[in-house]
A and B are shown apart, each in its own frame.
Chain A
Amino acid sequence: MQTRYSYGGDEHIFVEMDEEMSLEAFFKSMSITNAVRAAHIDGITEICPANGSFQIKFDPDRIAPDVLMSRLQSLEQAANKAEKRLETRIVEVPVFYRDPWTTETLMRFRERHQDPQSTDLEYAARMNGYDTVEQFIHAHHASPWFVSMVGFVAGLPFLYQLVERSRQIQVPKYLRPRTDTPKHTIGHGGCFGCVYSVRGAGGYQMFGITPMPIYDPTQKVSYLREFMVFFRPGDIVKWKPIDREEYDAITADVAANRYEPRIRKVTFDLDSFNADIDGTNQRLMETLHGV
């Protein structure tokens, strides 16, 4: 891993842990951003962690850019020694794959796609060596995912699949981004999955939709009363495939304010995950389902 520092204009410093995505890069970025937050450096106005990088927004009238740059570099030394362990939560997110809404949208934007003859799911299945869409969908929801960044638009989680790199799903982004994506679309681009929190532009392939809101600026949704954004970096997600009937039932429950997502507390330790991926995931599932 090679850390790279750069200025983003006169108000930002951008720090990339590694060009490649990995959980090691995520944990290192998290350690440094935690250290930066704890240091309470005057002049820092925002700390934005991303997948394997982070960004600091600062006021150059309060701290000189080169002074802040050296402070960040010195914090990197300490962060290298930080424990790669998180007290977090695992959340079950229902997914209606091949739903009518994303299907309608993907048909509308076929001319921006690498393969206008296929659906996004057919294309992704083929790109990842699966014989059928069913097998691909199974690979998508069989193992848990890790929220490695929140952003793009309000509350959108980027998700990193918790399997060996050789099994991780990878697909290109659309050739030209769409101008429309249904709210709550389950997307995928590069190695990242996502849930589109609001309707709008998007470049990721579309696989399905969830009935579970993850952003509510009115804070009426029962589990978003405390805060309007549901996801935090470090959350773990398990997709649960559902059909139209269940989709409609959950949508009704959300509207009636009686839907509660299944959430359990878990500890995620990167070293034990790397030592035994399947075993770690097995334990995560047991915690989620209370076995």
Chain B
Amino acid sequence: MAFKVLNPGLLTTVQDLGRPGYFHLGIPMSGAMDRYALRAANLLVGNPEGAAALEAVFMGPQLEFEVDATVAVTGADLPARVDGEPHPAWTAFSVRAGQVLSFDYLKGGARAYIAISGGIDTPPALGSRSTYIIGALGGYHGRALAAGDMVPLGKPGALRHGTEVPDALRRTVGKSAELRVLPGLYWRLITEEAGRNFFEDSWKVAPEADRMGYRFRGGRPFTFEPREQPFGAGSNPSNIVDACYPYGSIQVPGGTEPIVLHRDAVSGGGYFTLGAVISADMDLIGQMQPHTGVRFVKVDMDQALAARAEEAGRLARLREALA
């Protein structure tokens, strides 16, 4: 049971909910950039919500199926076709053995999740099938899919089609978005003015935006509180003694362009971090295209936890809707 990759798209990888537990060795959790969309796709096709699926960035792959399967596409607005026939997003549909799944041009968002009944059955590495490309770990031989790959599928449950995610539970990102940030970490190294500017300025997603991190441009450069650099840090005021980087943390090398670390984050390094994007907004980042306008919004811990609870509620409603 498998499908054949006729065309891999731009960057299509196998992802599940990731491999926590190895960040202390520099191995990030990886997993879907938009975990909500991954869960929705899996639930639609009758998989466990953490099963491995495909994450396609900007451009969809072209896949030929060896077996009958149920398929669902969620996340980015990347219209699917089976042998040329269009199929709605966020809805389960069937693909017969010998048919070809392909995609039209991207209409919104950045990452589509393609779940297939049975789930992708590549061998797990350190407990997960997620692809960590830099470490050549997990997924399909530790790399993105390529033309000619035969990707194995697990045993599917009963085939189903027509199940859909209610409109209110679908999420897309438009031309602009807000990201909520809890200030902290090395916040004290920047001046009060730089801290104010960061939240006032309009930022845009830069072209360097990938699974490791998203870079932002357009705001004013940061100024630093005067101080003598501590031993071992390096001479630039944005340098620190190399430390851990939380997921979602915002570093600003050289004090110019903030970088938000994501699922394939480097686990540490020598640049200061001013705080972190809250967990509730991390999925949103994965759907941002370059040039998306972004405002960073300051929140406190209580607001972060409230947003987290709100997200958990959404997920509970999704599970209920697709049960």
Tell me whether A6 and B185 are in contact (CB under 8 A): yes
Taking the complex as formed, is A119 at the interface, i.e. its CB lies under 8 A from any CB of chain B? Answer: no
B276 contact set on A, CB distance < 8 A = 7-9, 12
Q: Is the CB of A172 within 8 A of B230?
A: no
B254 touches A175 (CB 8 A): yes
Instruction: Please tell me if A75 contacts chain B, counting CB pairs below 8 Å.
Output: no
User: With contacts A9-B304, A12-B276, A46-B20 known, is A152 near B266, CB below 8 A?
Assistant: yes
Task: Please indicate the chain B residues that have their CB under 8 angstroms from the CB of A137 in the complex.
Answer: none
The answer to whether A20 and B230 have CB atoms under 8 Å apart is: yes
Using Cβ atoms and an 8 Å threshold, which residues of chain B touch A173? 234, 236, 239, 270
Q: A residues 5-54 with Cβ under 8 Å of B?
A: 6-12, 14, 16, 18-22, 45-54
Q: Check if B174 is an interface residue, CB within 8 A of chain A.
A: no
B190, chain A: closest CB distance, angstroms: 14
Task: A272 to B81: give the CA distance in the assembly, Å.
Answer: 70
* Interface-located stretch among B6-14, B31-39, B66-74, B134-142: B134-142
Picked from B27, B184, B185, B232, the residue with its CB within 8 Å of the CB of A21 is B232
A48→B234 contact, CB < 8 A: no
Q: Is the CB of A190 within 8 A of B134?
A: no
Partner of A165, one of B21, B187, B231, B268: B231
Size bin of chain B's contact surface? 35 or more
A241 interface residue (CB < 8 Å to B): no
Cβ–Cβ contact B275 & A197, under 8 A: no
Residues in A with CB closer than 8 Å to B135 are 153-154, 198, 215, 217
By a CB distance below 8 angstroms, the chain A residues around B234 are 170, 172-173, 189-190
Query: Which residues of B have CB within 8 Å of A6?
Result: 184-185, 187
Chain A window 147-160, contacts with chain B (Cβ cutoff 8 Å), 1 for yes, 0 for no = 00111111110100
Give the number of residue pairs across the A-B interface with Cβ within 8 Å: 191
Number of interface residues of A (CB under 8 A): 59
Q: Which residue of A lies closest to B137 (CB)?
A: A217
Q: Are B267 and A48 in contact (CB under 8 A)?
A: yes
Nearest A-chain residue to B135, judged by Cβ? A154
Most chain-A Cβ atoms within 10 A of its Cβ — which of B185, B232, B233, B243? B232
Give the segment of B83-91, B191-199, B245-253 that binds chain A: B245-253
- Interface digits, A194-224 against B, CB 8 Å rule (1 contact, 0 not)? 0001101001000000000001011000000
CB of A156 within 8 A of CB of B26, answer: yes
Interface centre among A48, A192, A198, A228 (most CB of B within 10 A): A48
B233–A190 touching, CB < 8 Å: yes
Please measure, in the bound complex, the distance between the C-alpha atom of A11 and the C-alpha atom of B136, giving whole angstroms: 27
For B234, the closest partner residue in chain A by CB is A190
Which residue on B lies nearest to A219, using beta carbons? B125
Q: B239 contacts which chain A residues (CB < 8 A)? A: 172-173, 190
Residues of B with C-beta under 8 A to A7: 182, 184, 276, 301
Does residue A126 face the partner (Cβ distance < 8 Å to B)?
Answer: no
Q: Is the interface of A mostly helix, strand, loop or mixed?
A: loop
B207 at the binding interface (Cβ < 8 Å):
no
Residues of A near B160 (CB, < 8 A) are none
Is B172 engaged at the interface, CB distance under 8 Å to the other chain?
Answer: no
Are A48 and B24 closer than 8 Å at their CB atoms? Answer: yes
**A151 with B249: in contact, given A176-B254, A217-B142 (CB under 8 Å)?**
no
Nearest B residue to A64 via CB reads B305
**Looking across the interface, which residue of chain B has its beta carbon closest to that of A157?**
B26
Partner pick for B232 among A8, A151, A191, CB 8 A cutoff: A191
Q: Decide yes or no whether B321 CB sits under 8 A from chain A.
A: no
Least CB distance, B36 to chain A, in whole angstroms: 16
Question: Within 8 Å CB of B187, what residues of A?
Answer: 6
Provided the pairs A173-B239, A217-B136, A217-B142 are in contact, do residues A11 and B24 lie with their beta carbons within 8 angstroms? no
Q: Which residues of B contact A (CB under 8 A)?
A: 20-21, 23-27, 125, 132, 134-137, 142, 182, 184-185, 187, 230-236, 239-244, 246-249, 253-254, 266-270, 273, 275-279, 301, 304-305, 308, 312
In order of increasing CB-CB distance, the 5 nearest A-B pairs are A21-B232, A8-B246, A9-B276, A55-B244, A151-B267
Known: A12-B247, A61-B312. 17 other contacts (CB 8 A): A8-B246, A8-B249, A9-B249, A9-B278, A18-B230, A21-B233, A50-B243, A51-B241, A51-B243, A150-B25, A150-B26, A151-B23, A152-B268, A175-B254, A190-B270, A217-B137, A228-B137
Question: Please, could you name 12 A-B residue pairs with CB atoms under 8 Å apart, sorted by A?
Answer: A9-B246, A9-B279, A10-B278, A11-B246, A20-B233, A46-B20, A48-B268, A53-B241, A55-B246, A173-B234, A173-B239, A198-B135
